[in-house]
Amino acid sequence: MRADRAADALAPITESLDLPAGRDSDPYLVISTKTHAQVLSALGRSEEAVEQIHRARELGQAQGTQAHAEFDFADVMSQVLYDRGRTAEARAHGERALELAAEQGRLTRQVERVGARLAQCGS
């Protein structure tokens, strides 16, 4: 996500987190929290991004969507670490995301982005 698009997205995504307040079982809260992490990472606010992706993982686990929560966690952590220049760690999380994608039978653009990020991380 480009920083200019992330800046435009920050207010609406932050607002969307308030909509299901008190309803941790709302699946949109997981999606919004994950997206919030991605936006924060794109803006260089990596510590906040890490907090949000951990929160999204916890929410997903509590809602019984363990497999999706683990894939999203690995994917977003890979991006956050890549954005921070920590390519070896980004690669490890990206590889985990691809393993989970294979286990879950995922063939999506999200999986393609993980693969592209891994190629940028090098070996």
CA neighbours closer than 13 Å in the CB half-sphere of residue 108:
14
**Tens-place pLDDT, residues 57-104:** 998 888 887 778 888 899 999 999 998 899 999 999 999 988 888 888
Are 118 and 91 in contact, with CB atoms under 8 Å apart? yes
Report the pLDDT value the prediction gives residue 104, as an integer from 0 to 100: 80
**pLDDT for position 115:** 79
- CATH classification number, 3-121, choose in 1.10.10.410, 3.20.20.450, 3.40.50.170, 1.25.40.10: 1.25.40.10
Report how far residue 99's alpha carbon sits from residue 105's, in angstroms, rounded to the nearest whole number.
10
Domain boundaries, the chain: 3-121
pTM: 0.76
Span 7-31, pLDDT tens digits? 767 766 676 666 655 676 777 788 8
